Structure formats: C-alpha cells, structure tokens
A = this chain, B = another copy of it.
Amino acid sequence: MIYIADYVVTQNATRDCIYNGAVAVEGNRIADVGFADEVISRRCDDKRLNLGQAVIMPGLINGHTHVAMSALRGYSDDKTLMDWLQKDIFPAEARLTFEIIKISSLFSCTELIRTGCTSFYDMYMMADAVAEAADESGLRAVLGESVSMYFPGLAGKDEETLFERVREYSAKWKDKSRINGAVCPHSVYTTDARLLERCRELADETGFLFSMHMSETKGETQNCLKENGARPLDYCRSLGILSSDTTLYHMVDVNDDDLGIVKECGCAIVHNPASNMKLASGVAPISRMLDFEIPVAIGTDGPASNNSQNMVREMYLASLLQKVDKLDPLQAPAHSILDMATAGGSAALHNKNIGSLEKGKLADFIALDLTSPNMQPVHSIISNIVYSATGLENRLTVVDGQILYKDGEFLTLDYAGLSKQIHAIRDWVYK
C-alpha cells in the first residue's frame, strides 16, 4: 500500500520534509519513502491511499503514561500532589480489578490512537491487564509493572505473588512483537533499597526493561537526602539499579551532578510538562539534558493528572514551558520538540525501529489533516505540527503496517461499546 499526502515529514537523519510525498508499506515495514510520483513509478502495482491536504509523519511516542486511569479523568483536580494521591487516587485504586484496569486501558488506547500516538510506555499495577488492552488495540507498547511498598494493588498485598506473576506473564510475552515488558519500582519514596534491588534482579531475570519516577519534586530530593544520605539518582546509582535499559520519568529537581549520573549510566529521560505544571512539581531542564546528550522523550503522564493523553498538546506545552521558564524564546524550538516525540521516544522505549519514516523501519505513522483553520497556511510544516495542531487533526493511525484509525473509524476496537463501558465503570470511584 502507498500512502500519499501533500507533506511527508520523515524525521530521518537529515530531517527531510517532502512536498507531495509518499510512504509505501510492505507487511509491517516501510518499503519506500520519497516524492509521490517516484514512489508510485517504483511500485506501480501497489494500491494507493491519497490523503491530499495532510501531513504524513512518524507516529508520536508517548514515553510515560498510566492508561488504566482513564476512568479517573477529571475525578480530582486542583489539589496538592499528596492530597490528590492519598485522599482521592489511592482510595479509588484500592478497589481496582483486572477487568476495570483492562477496560480503562482499552478506552485510553482509543484516545492515543485518535490523537496520533502509535507507541507508549505504561506503568501500572497488573501490567498484564494493560498488555491485553494494548495488544487488542494494535498499538505498540512497553507495559511496566508498578512496584511499591505502600500502594494498593498486588505489590503491597503480597510481594512474592506479584514477582511470580511478572515472571509468568514475561514468559508468555516472548513471542509478542508489539508488546514488551518492564519492571517499574514506583519511586525512591515508595520503595526501600531491598525492593529496588529485587526489582533490578527481576528485570534482568525476565529480560524486561526498567523504569522509575525520578526526582519529580524538591520534596522527593529532600526526603531522599534525609532517609538515604544521597540525592535520588546518586542513591539509585549506588544500588546499581541504573543501566542502559533504564528510563526515568519527570526529572524535575535535577542538577548537573544528577544529569552526569544519568549520562554515565546510559539512561533515557521522559519529560512530562502537563503533569509537572498541573501538579505544580516544577520545570524539568530539558535543554540542559540535551546539552548532556541524554535522550529525552515526552510523555503525557496519566489521564487523571493531565487530563488527557494527547501527545500533540504535550509537544506544544513542552516547548512553551521551557521558553518561559528560561525567559528565552530560542529554547526548545519546534524541530527539537518533534525530535523528542519521535527519536526521543524511540530511545525511551529502547526500540530503534520506530520514530522515523525510513525504508526498513516499522510502519508506524499518522496523518494530520491540514484543512482545518488552525493548520493554514503552511509556512513551516514543523511549526504547524508543534505550535498550531490540537491533536484532533489526526485522521490516520497506522501501527505495524495495520490501520488502527481512519477518518472517524476505529478499526481494531469497538469504540461505541467501550464508551458505554467507561461510563458504566465511572461510578466505581464513588462506591
């Protein structure tokens, strides 16, 4: 199949943007990218889908979310992190079931697909429920099991059962190409050294990736200094749990020493501007991270703190937040933000086959409509994507060569049915 549009943004090594471009797909891989007339002449027997006034681009990669929280969207806002967590979120989560987690995750998958995300890195309890949802949706995902000493869910109830469960489902996932796993100690403030070390062992044993919330607030740093005599990153390095398979979320309260540790250990970072703003955690120094040549991705965090999972909106926030924080409009220019949401996401998900439209890469891409008023005229297509789009311009989501969404239709999920289900389980939080 050949997909044709007015613009193709490749995000290849030379960041080519092609006017009147095309992307050809064979199986789950990209077979050709170039000017439409040339691709067509090289593959004249292929079927064609001409999207017209649109831009085809790599699917956006959401580096950090909790998709199972869609039923809690708008349930609790305008509160301090601890009030929000302890009074509202944890009590609701204490009554979670596998079924609720799966349905809420399926519903979030519709939001990701609708707004142009093709891969995501999730962290939640019962990651196998989330994995079932991701698998059914057709999205590509890393599903991390959240581990802590205090939070509700299996981890707190019986650590051995949880670890055994992760071992069991890790064995089952070996043959799943779109689904990968991770072990995710929640944070330094919800684990102890022994549990962190056990999590690292479990990741090594299962071949899973490793990720954590890290240095999200000044309070976390201060508490870690008091409890462990070191800042969070220094403490984690001393435990030997940071490695090149590791992804760190938030990273707001970090200094150059912290970033030196991240660079030394080869970790990737995920920036979460909406969550950091709405929960008033602060501003992550993403430009400084890039100075250290650390891979930086962008993530929405969960729908209960954002309150959406829209990577297009997140890109806009990421750029504007950095500019105003540094009082420098040259910070975080549009092209560097798009790089974070594509190449940065590829690094954060530890998957080199996604994030650009190049021959041989996995066929994960989207197409934004350019006919709505906010997308016209086009002086710079990258500017319109990062600064003018809302996310709902997306009209095509392709993952692994399969069309998941096209012009209002979800092709892998029963959207009407899921809408009914999410309304039905909405009331669970009030019980």
Contact = CB atoms under 8 A, between A and B. Distances in A.
A306 B389 CA distance: 11
Contact of A419 (B333, B371, B391): B371
A387 B307 contact: yes
Interface stretch (A71-79, A169-177, A182-190): A71-79
Contact of A78 (B326, B329, B423): B329
A19 to B, nearest CB: 13
A77 B320 contact: no
Contacts of A307: 383-384, 387-388
A308 B114 CA distance: 21
Interface in A273-288: 274, 276-283
Interface stretch (A237-245, A258-266, A372-380): A372-380
Given A73-B379, A110-B373, A377-B73, A330 B78 contact: yes
Contacts of A334: 77-78
Interface residues on A, range: 35 or more
B388 A278 contact: no
Given A79-B329, A317-B320, A383-B307, A377 B280 contact: no
A110 B73 CA distance: 30
Contacts of A111: 373-374
Contacts of A393: 392
Contact of A392 (B276, B309, B329, B372): B372
Interface core residue of A108, A320, A392 (most chain B CB under 10 Å) = A320
Given A107-B373, A371-B419, A390-B310, A426 B329 contact: no
Interface core residue of A108, A276, A380, A422 (most chain B CB under 10 Å) = A380
The 4 closest A-B pairs by CB, nearest first: A111-B373, A74-B383, A277-B320, A390-B390
7 contacts: A70-B376, A73-B377, A78-B330, A114-B373, A307-B383, A308-B387, A309-B374
